[in-house]
Structure 1
């Protein structure tokens, strides 16, 4: 998270989005004493009812909680602050209208509607898409001169949900061990030989192949709750074949 890789950009963005989302929902649910329901702008706001998720307060809290650590005016700090704000904007600008019907026998004679923060799975998908299209900060913002970052701070109004994530350093392959970058590599990683997704042996093992190994796994089973308040379990041993990257 302290480096300028595109993975760091995604990590900062989704962390900021997560804080914004959680605080906004907590405000609407009345779980926080210092905030309340969110507001909806516009002449037709009087038609709204229910309690809107307070994404404005959530974003403000996220800035106070996360951005305060980024004081140094260098290109790394700039991109961290920028990516934080992209994550918040994705939550704030993608609020959804949700409604609840009231009436006899399930009829919808009266309907209560409110603005809710998007499902966080959707937020994650949008940020994942931005991760795949991340751009170099030096080219996108500073015109190939990273030193000019010392003159800039991210301007919130210029960042939109459509803004890309920014990175400073090209990501390593993560396939081979690199102690300088704290990359452990994928040798010895468990993989799924029957998968075609990111956990597949073809993907994780980086073309090196994998070994099949027989292991005995200890797992908790037959758990019982004892009043009060203890859970006791037995140890069960399971034999299985696993795939491990070479």
Structure 2
């Protein structure tokens, strides 16, 4: 009997080891880290896990268990935000690179720089955007179109509210509930900010970006296409426009004092309270020119640059004055395609030689 018990225990241990290996393969570091990890993992891997095993805080797991139907929107929001971050910074020295770690952005997530500010803002905005879009598309019973504007009109301008206005209030509420921590006294006008308060300020600025980029769309009604009456509704902007807005906020971000540091300059103490739409940061950004494994900086060596550009993608700026290498690249593509009766397309094979420049 004792031998049978021991064998059952061994089988149980083997099963637990196999399960642990599965979790590590789809969710590294035992699923500790940031919800942003959902944006870089595959849907197939996500389906093997439930809310308990995801890289979420205790409060986020509870919310996930109560509203599991929102998990696809959470993942889509993380993906949308990471993709837009990389799109906005594709020509910059820091190109919003991600890592294989659960933190996704590595050191940038806690460095307190302008890049940290942008990451938190765009991630919060991405979550609002996908949850709100899911509401408008009728994918959830908890929310739908924004009911507040239905039935009201603007007689002087000859139009009335109708259609399906995007219900960003629900998306904004969920983003706050899922991301933010309930912390009082987040900031003071004289005492500075904590890192947590800085991140929460920037996530709220990201959510406000959705509201500030919304547009009013209208449809005409009338005989023979006339526009005697118009029905209008509020709609979210494409997320690329939200990304452009946040990139402008990034470029005009405001440095604030870190309350966790003992010594604070009097000049910094007298700085007024910043606007809620501005991005804030503590520390100046590194130049991102050279690789720094300790900080997770990849450097710009080997990055492709534009020799004729005077912008951030130009070889002079992107390569930090180190110079660049020129390679001749052979490009083959189909060209001069013609339809042949009947029924196929005949194309020529065209070759071109192009210069490609990469940073030294």
For normalisation by structure 1, the TM-score amounts to 0.74
Q: 2:286 corresponds to which residue?
A: 172
Q: 1:189 to 1:29 in 2, by over 3 A?
A: same
Residue correspondence of structure 1 range 232-243 to structure 2 within 5 A: 240-243=354-357
Q: Which has the larger radius of gyration?
A: 2
Q: Secondary structure of the residue that 2:294 maps to in structure 1?
A: helix
Confirm whether residue 244 of structure 1 aligns to residue 358 of structure 2. yes
Q: Distance in 2 between matches of 1:49 and 1:116?
A: 12
Q: Which residue of 1 aligns with 2:167?
A: 54
Aligned twin of 2:309: 195
Match of 1:111 among 225, 230, 245: 230
Q: Which runs of 5+ in 1 are unaligned?
A: 139-143, 149-157, 223-235
Alignment of 1:115-126 (within 5 A): 115-126=234-245
Match of 2:260 among 143, 146, 152: 146
Checking the alignment, whether the CA contact within 8 Å between 2:304 and 2:357 is kept in structure 1 is: yes
Aligned length in residues? 215
Distance verdict in 2 for CA 1:185–1:39, change over 3 Å = same
* Structure 2 counterpart of 1:92, from 195, 211, 216: 211
Give the corresponding residue for 1:64: 177
* CA drift at 1:127: 1.2
Contact 2:151 2:161 in 1 (8 A): no
**Alignment deviations for residues 95-135 of structure 1 (CA, whole Å, 9 cap, x no partner):** 32211112343222332111112343332222111111212
In the alignment, what sits opposite 2:126? 18
Contact 2:209 2:277 survives alignment (8 Å): no
After superposition, the C-alpha distances for 1:158-189 in whole angstroms (9 at most, x for unaligned) are 986x6321112211000111112111111121
Please state which structure has a larger fraction of its residues in strand: 1
Tell me, in whole angstroms, the C-alpha distance in 2 between the residues paired with 1:120 and 1:159.
25
**Structure 1 CA distance for aligned equivalents of residues 329 and 217 of structure 2:** 49
User: Paired residue for 2:113?
Assistant: 5
Contact kept? 1:85, 1:159, Cα under 8 Å: no
The answer to whether the Cα contact below 8 Å between 2:149 and 2:162 also exists between their aligned partners in 1 is: no
Deviates more, 1:74-83 or 1:56-65: 74-83
Q: Does 1:129 align with 2:226?
A: no
Please state whether the residue corresponding to 2:109 is helix, strand or coil: coil
Alignment gaps of 5+ in structure 2? 1-107, 155-159, 187-192, 263-272, 336-349
Q: Which has the higher helix share?
A: 2
- Alpha-carbon displacement from aligned partner over 1:14-37 (angstroms, at most 9, x marks no partner): 121122122223212223332111
Cα RMSD after superposing both structures: 3.4
SS of the residue corresponding to residue 178 of structure 1 reads: coil
Residues 21 and 243 (structure 1), Cα distance of their counterparts in 2 relative to 1, 3 Å cut: same
* 2:322 partner SS: coil
The 1:159–1:168 alpha-carbon spacing in structure 2 relative to 1, beyond 3 Å, is closer
Q: Which residue of 2 aligns with 1:230?
A: none
Indicate the SS of the match to 1:180: coil
Which TM-score applies when normalising by structure 2? 0.52
Contact 2:162 2:233 in 1 (8 A): yes
Q: What SS does the corresponding residue of 2:249 show, helix, strand or coil?
A: helix
Q: Which residue of 2 aligns with 1:30?
A: 138
Choose between structure 1 and 2 for higher RCO, CA contacts under 8 A separated by at least 6 residues. Answer: 1
